[in-house]
Structure 1
Amino acid sequence: MVLRISITTDTEMMELIDKYAKENGIDRNRAIIEMIENGFTKATGTTPFSPNQKQTFEEYHDIKLSLEALKQSLMELTDEVKLIHHIIDVELVRDMKPVPFQSKKWWEFWKTP
């Protein structure tokens, strides 16, 4: 069961939490959860307490968001490749000059100059 709580703290404590989060590369909420878990572990002297349900959901949500961002980036890359392919194709067609036998109609080959 997940329970949402609200706490009030001073700025020094928030600075410590933010510093911990920055050092570990996590967000503030995750830092608070880890600090509470570490506090329980130290206070009881037992194995670490880990409520995995909420953390797993958060990790799933983060992975889903990053996959959506990756999908969007790949779509943009696909559009760019199509555009570049079109530009190259247009440039090649513009530079092409017909070969002499392709510039004549079939009946013009019988004519002698």
Structure 2
Amino acid sequence: MMTLKAGADAVYYFTVFDPNNYGETFQNYGTSYDHWRTGISIGADINLWRITVAAQIGKYIHYNRLMDKATWYWTFGPTFNITPHIGLQAKTYMHFAQADFVNWGVVYRF
């Protein structure tokens, strides 16, 4: 029913912050000078038949950011489990109470 987990997160930015193009590259707490940010996180999953609802809190290992106080992040979102090992996931990455972006992906469970 409930699973505790730990993991690593990596986010790739196609477009990074450019002070000369502030209006199109500023993303508030998600504003990054580098293409990658990485972190480690802990959290829990609640399993409800084929739907898993996850929540995690993480600390950045690398994040060359504009907003210095964004050193922690949290994520949450559902996963629809197609098989016991493969699922489709929508995960929201957040800083404080502000959504950074939604990540859509495929999840593989060992």
User: TM above 0.5, one fold?
Assistant: no
> Greater helix share, 1 or 2?
1
Larger Rg: 1
TM-score band w.r.t. shorter chain: under 0.3
TM, length-normalised to structure 1:
0.16
> Relative CO higher for 1 or 2, CA cutoff 8 Å, sep ≥ 6?
2
> Greater strand share, 1 or 2?
2
